[in-house]
Amino acid sequence: MIDTHAHLSEECYKDRLDQIIEQMPADNLSKIFTVAYDLKSMIDCVDIAHKYSNVYAIIGVHPENCDQFEECKDTLIDLCKDPKVVSIGEIGLDYYWNNANKAEQQRVFVEQLRIAHSEHLPVAIHVRDAIGDLIQVLKDNKHLLKYGVLIHCFSESVESFRELKKLGCKVAFGGVSTFKNAVKVKQVVAEAELNDFVLETDCPYLTPEPLRGKAQNEPKYVKYIMQNIASLKGVDEKTIDNCTTKNALDLFTKAK
């Protein structure tokens, strides 16, 4: 399996990273993508990716940090050329915490789409309470999506999934897909074809069932997400393991 979205630069993993990486073969994990959201985490994620051969970095400015974009821009462009950087992310729109700066969020989002296009990289997108505007921005900038789009931690409606699929986007299913009340996500899982999605944990956040509320999330818990999706789709776990790994490598080609 590949965990396509983990935050290994977080302080909670500082003293446990070696152990997490050493256990990857036993946990049936082939690769982990560690994801940034601001200048410091970009640098930290690239450093971690260089330390471990089976870890890769996704770097970008999260919409909550869009006011920091100009100071991050040159570093972002420089680091994109690093062989261990596989994508720009997590970028996008988030109106949950701040809907007063919608225009600035959209501007920074499009700027990072442009950088990804110029660097021949896919993008990993965060969206919260902003799906309508996100789809419109992607439609308006479809020419910048040539190298692939992943909507991380997908929890939107089937109708939104269909619109995004028309634009060539893939989605990532994480811990939310295991929650009992996640009706919308389960509907998307049921409709999605096997080449439409990948796996992620978003650790240390969103620990999946059956460990929700009992343990801090980490990459090895992606197995619970994989098992749940296999059950929801009525296929064997090996099929989900194989297809999501292939989908991730087809999208994040620098990790092959």
Could you report the per-residue pLDDT of 55-90, keeping only the tens digit for each? 999 999 999 999 999 999 999 999 999 999 999 999
Domain range for 179: 2-255
pTM for this predicted structure: 0.97
In degrees rounded to 5, what are phi and psi of residue 180? -65, -35
CATH code: domain of residue 162: 3.20.20.140
The answer, yes or no, to whether residue 98 has pLDDT greater than 90, is: no
The domain total for the chain is 1
Contact between 171 and 192 under an 8 Å Cβ cutoff? The reply is yes
Please give the pLDDT value at position 97. Answer: 83
Q: Please report where in the chains the tokens 């972002």 appear, as a residue.
A: 76
Contact between 238 and 40 under an 8 Å Cβ cutoff? The reply is no
The answer, yes or no, to whether residue 51 has pLDDT greater than 90, is: yes
